[in-house]
């Protein structure tokens, strides 16, 4: 009986010892993992600090180079000014020079300006889409085509699209009513091809009497369109 009791005690002690050892192992594992995480966090903080410091150093270096280039530019401008030689551009703050120029390179002339190619005309000079109007838009085309006007109108426009018109060509509009005429002439300073042109007549050119009127466009004294008719009525 005593032998059985002793064996039972030994078994219980062995079980308790095994359990304690397992708990100790778990605790040691957790401690090791915690230390490893702390080490990783410390490494990340150190890396971030180093990266920030490098960025700050780079920014300081760039600011120094920009300021150095600006001062060199000012000194060169002063030297050239004393010699009577103008320096292209103006001196401003550090932001005016986004990248420092090399020590031995400075602009010597303004940037080239793009030049439009001359208009190439082909075909016969002519007019199309001839209409009458009381006003024109900013693009020289008719605001609202109309062919009926009143005797108190201020102006009456004839508007057309011009094609293949060389510069300095004599263009004219001949308004007529009952045998009376008013000739309006114009020489464009540049070629016209596919743009609106217009002439207008006022009371001082020819009184706006009621009746059926006509207008014809001409190029260099020759008819360039059929006569376009419109009417003026009493108020």
Shared domain for 82 and 158, answered yes or no, is no
Question: Residue 73 burial (CB < 10 Å; 0-12/13-18/19+)?
Answer: buried
Shared domain for 84 and 30, answered yes or no, is yes
C-alpha distances (whole Å) from 190 to each of 130, 194, 195 are 21, 13, 12
Task: Indicate whether 60 belongs to any domain.
Answer: yes
Shared domain for 153 and 106, answered yes or no, is no
CATH number of the domain residue 168 falls in: 2.60.40.10
Domain end marker among 58, 76, 111? 111
Task: Indicate whether 119 belongs to any domain.
Answer: no
Determine the pLDDT at residue 160: 97
Task: Indicate whether 10 belongs to any domain.
Answer: no
Determine the pLDDT at residue 123: 82
Domain end marker among 66, 83, 111? 111
Task: Indicate whether 7 belongs to any domain.
Answer: no
Determine the pLDDT at residue 96: 45
Contacts of 219 (CB under 8 A, 6+ apart): 125, 165, 169, 170, 171, 172
Chain centre to alpha carbon of residue 6: 98
Is 213 within 8 Å of 231 (Cβ atoms)?
yes
Task: Indicate whether 142 belongs to any domain.
Answer: yes
Determine the pLDDT at residue 212: 97
Shared domain for 144 and 211, answered yes or no, is yes
Task: Indicate whether 1 belongs to any domain.
Answer: no
**Number of domains, the chain:** 2
Shared domain for 210 and 151, answered yes or no, is yes
Shared domain for 63 and 29, answered yes or no, is yes
What is the reported pTM? 0.51
Provide the residue range defining the domain that includes 173. 126-233
pLDDT < 70 stretches in the chain:
1-72, 74-120, 122
Shared domain for 23 and 107, answered yes or no, is yes
Domain end marker among 87, 111, 135? 111
Task: Indicate whether 118 belongs to any domain.
Answer: no
Task: Indicate whether 2 belongs to any domain.
Answer: no
């Amino acid at each position: 009986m005593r032998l059985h009791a002793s064996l039972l005690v030994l078994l219980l002690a062995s079980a308790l010892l095994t359990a304690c050892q397992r708990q100790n192992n778990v605790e040691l594992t957790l401690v090791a993992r915690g230390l490893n995480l702390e080490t990783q966090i410390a490494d990340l903080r150190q890396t971030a600090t180093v990266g920030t410091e490098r960025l700050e150093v780079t920014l300081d270096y760039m600011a120094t180079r920009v300021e150095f280039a600006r001062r060199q530019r000012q000194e060169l401008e002063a030297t050239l000014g004393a010699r009577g030689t103008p320096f292209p551009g103006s001196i401003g703050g550090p932001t005016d020079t986004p990248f420092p120029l090399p020590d031995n390179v400075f602009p010597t002339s303004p940037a080239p300006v793009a030049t439009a190619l001359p208009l190439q005309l082909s075909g016969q000079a002519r007019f199309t889409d001839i209409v009458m109007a009381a006003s024109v838009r900013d693009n020289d085309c008719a605001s609202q085509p109309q062919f009926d006007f009143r005797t108190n109108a201020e102006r009456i426009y004839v508007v057309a699209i011009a094609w293949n018109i060389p510069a300095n060509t004599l263009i004219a509009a001949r308004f007529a009513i009952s045998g009376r005429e008013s000739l309006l002439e114009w020489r464009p300073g540049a070629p016209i091809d596919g743009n609106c042109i217009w002439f207008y007549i006022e009371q001082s050119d020819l009184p706006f009497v009621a009746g059926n009127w006509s207008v014809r466009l001409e190029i260099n004294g020759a008819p360039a369109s059929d006569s376009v008719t419109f009417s003026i009525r009493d108020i």
